[in-house]
Amino acid sequence: MPKDIKLHDSTFITKELSTLINSIYNGVIIIDNQGYILSINNTAEFLMGVTAQDALYRSVDDVIPQTGLLRVLETGISEINQRMNVKTNVILTTRSPLLENNTIIGAVAVFQDITSIATALSELEYVKNLTSTLESVLESIEEGIVVVDKQGLITRMNKAYGYFLGINPKEIVGKHITTVITNTRLHIVARSGNAEVEQFQKINDNICVVTRIPITKNDEIIGCVGNVIFKDAKNLDTLAAKFNKLHSELEFYKEEFSKACGIKYTFEDIIGKSKKIDAVRKLAFKAAKSISTVLILGESGTGKELFAHAIHAASSRRQGPFIKVNCAALPESLLESELFGYDEGAFTGARRSGKPGKFELANGGTIFLDEIGEMPISMQVKILRVLQEREMERVGATKTTKLDIRIIAATNRNLEKMIDEGQFRQDLYYRLNVFSLVIPPLRERIDDIPLLCDMLLRKICNKVGHWVYDISPKALELMNKYNWPGNVRELENILERTINLMDDEVVLMAEHLPPILKKKNQLTTDENNRTIFNLELIMNNAERLALNRALEATRGNKSTAAKILGITRSAFYQKLKKHNLDS
């Protein structure tokens, strides 16, 4: 302790003064003219993180270096409201010299904890910046925006909306929204809390598209915001045109990409609503989400390849190649080199650079082995290795190639019977038959014939250039009674042959069908006469044709189509319903 400090100097630190200093809210530190602490109250102890026992009669800079009191002793100048940080606290301090007869005898520092105030100021500054940003965003967008409170009084309107209404947004703040927009529903939404999205509203002789969204705070509705999405609904036509153009371009590029990958069909191309085809389609969709090998069984012409394409197109490998191999179309001598490829010098006539096989080309994607039941036993062993090891060797190669492929196989043969006859390996069958699909024949899904005919008519008419718009009920009846041994492929063949032989008729009649369909269902002479000379049928067919052509000419615009036909819109819709064209 310095010798010249007077512990009981009644003219400097008295007991009463010490009691007073300890009773005030702010922190206080007093030093003498040599910089030694003479007094520190309880608040200062807490704020500075020291105790009076450790601090008293020691140099202030040794105990609390950042007080600035020694500087005040030297200059004799007070330092008002200086900010300092002590640990996590923000302190506001005022330092003043103590004078006696114009002589500095010490200094005093008063500390105030403003941490909560500083935090509040920081938060306030953040809110101010956020508000400024939101204001800028609100004023920069072209859409009209207005905000009302729960009573429907306007609290905010951006410049775009004010310009649209022809008013100054600042002048209408505080007014009820109905005095500015007479047919508004903002005040109603503010009360009900039920949002109204993309509604039509007439504003200033314009049909606008607006949205009204309630504003909530702590689960309580405090107002509503209105947003004019389109100031004139005519703009929707322009937007729709742009969207349709982009959609068309997207579809074009998707189609081109699919072609590049070998994809021809998707699940959308699987036509039919019968229970059997729907069940197989759902199972195939599950197969698409799997990575397991798929075996597709079914008669010839049922659409096994279509399902294979669709499974690949809906799988995680859709961006990889889809390689098809018809095992029945390749002679046994070429099958191995086609599937596995060959290296240079593998055999006489082999390319110098060698040739990749179908399995290599399918790497990263899917390989479709069609007519797998026709594959010779010698090749079945090698296919089994690919399935088990996911690797292969080119013909004449000395190294193996790792494969990342999925195999989909298909056949119209009874593989289990072939196993019993020693024509198909049992172990390969079990490797293939992980996910099995059985495609129903057409005779088991007769209800799908009308839908299939609609799809095939469009396809065939585009191909041959002869437009047939409908099939008569009697012709469909004959089709329903036929056994269809060739399934959908036979149906397409018969329709194409029939359309090619028709003259200028636009409705396919029963008499147009080939004899094979009428063999067991031959029309009697009376029935023929009734069909040919039935005035009601002829008029219905002509009316249906006229409706179709009018819709085509107007690109589906029903109002314009009705005008072309010279009938009222209500009559036009009745006729559409009559001929099942109103979908």
Q: pLDDT tens digits, residue range 138-181? A: 777 778 889 999 999 998 888 888 888 889 988 889 999 999 88
Higher pLDDT, 539 or 153: 153
Please, which pLDDT band fits residue 522 given cuts at 50, 70 and 90?
Answer: very low
- What pLDDT shows up at residue 7? 41
Q: Give the burial string for 418-456 (b: 16+ CB within 10 Å, else e).
A: bbeeebbbeebbebbeebebebbbbebbeebbeebbeeb
Q: pLDDT tens digits, residue range 319-344? A: 888 999 988 888 877 888 888 888 77
Residue 192 clears pLDDT 80, i.e. is over it: yes
Q: Does domain 141-232 sit in CATH 3.40.50.2300?
A: no
Residue 388 clears pLDDT 50, i.e. is over it: yes
Listed by start position, the domains of the chain span 15-117, 141-232, 267-440, 445-578
Given a contact cutoff of 8 angstroms between Cβ atoms, the answer to whether 310 and 354 are in contact is no
* % of the chain residues with pLDDT over 90: 26
Higher pLDDT, 513 or 345: 513
Residue 523 clears pLDDT 60, i.e. is over it: no
Query: Which residues pair with residue 431 across a beta bridge?
Result: none
Q: How far is CA 570 from CA 544, 563, 567, 576, in A?
A: 16, 11, 8, 10
- What pLDDT shows up at residue 20? 75
If one counts every other C-beta atom within 10 angstroms of the C-beta of residue 345, the result is 11
Global confidence as pTM = 0.48
Q: Per-residue pLDDT averaged across 30-37, rounded?
A: 90
The full 3-state SS of 41-80, as one line of letters, equals CHHHHHHHCCCHHHHCCCEHHHHCHHHCHHHHHHHCCCEE
Q: 445-578: what CATH class?
A: mainly alpha
Residue 47 clears pLDDT 70, i.e. is over it: yes
Lowest mean pLDDT among 38-52, 252-266, 368-382: 252-266
- What pLDDT shows up at residue 466? 79
Given a contact cutoff of 8 angstroms between Cβ atoms, the answer to whether 296 and 307 are in contact is yes
- What pLDDT shows up at residue 349? 54
Residue 345 clears pLDDT 60, i.e. is over it: no
Q: Per-residue pLDDT averaged across 405-409, rounded?
A: 94
pLDDT mean across residues, the chain: 82
Residue 3 clears pLDDT 70, i.e. is over it: no
Q: Per-residue pLDDT averaged across 35-50, rounded?
A: 86
Residue 443, token pair as written in the block: 């005779």
Using the structure block, give the residue that is written with the tokens 């008729």.
505
Lowest mean pLDDT among 219-223, 303-307, 312-316, 353-357: 353-357
Residue 49 clears pLDDT 80, i.e. is over it: yes
Q: pLDDT tens digits, residue range 413-467? A: 999 999 999 999 999 999 999 999 999 999 999 999 999 999 998 888 888 887 8
Q: pLDDT tens digits, residue range 304-323? A: 999 999 999 999 888 888 99
Q: Using alpha carbons, select from 515, 500, 498, 581 the residue that is nearest to residue 547.
A: 581
Q: What is the chain's length?
A: 583
Phi, psi of 294 (to 5 degrees): -120, 135
CA dihedral 281, 284, 285, 286 (to 10 degrees): 130
Residue 567 clears pLDDT 80, i.e. is over it: yes
Given a contact cutoff of 8 angstroms between Cβ atoms, the answer to whether 364 and 317 are in contact is yes
Q: Using alpha carbons, select from 483, 484, 487, 513 the residue that is nearest to residue 498.
A: 513
| Angle 473-479-484 from CA coordinates, rounded to 5° | 170
Q: pLDDT tens digits, residue range 86-127? A: 777 788 888 899 888 888 899 998 888 877 676 666 777 777
Please, which pLDDT band fits residue 542 given cuts at 50, 70 and 90?
Answer: confident
* CATH entry, 267-440, from 3.40.50.300, 3.30.70.20, 3.30.1050.10, 3.40.50.1820: 3.40.50.300
Distance of CA 225 to the CA centre of its chain: 27
- What pLDDT shows up at residue 245? 65
Q: Do domains 15-117 and 141-232 have the same CATH topology?
A: yes
Q: Per-residue pLDDT averaged across 218-224, rounded?
A: 90
Please give the CATH topology (third level) of the domain spanning 15-117: Beta-Lactamase (3.30.450)
- What pLDDT shows up at residue 22? 76
Please, which pLDDT band fits residue 526 given cuts at 50, 70 and 90?
Answer: very low
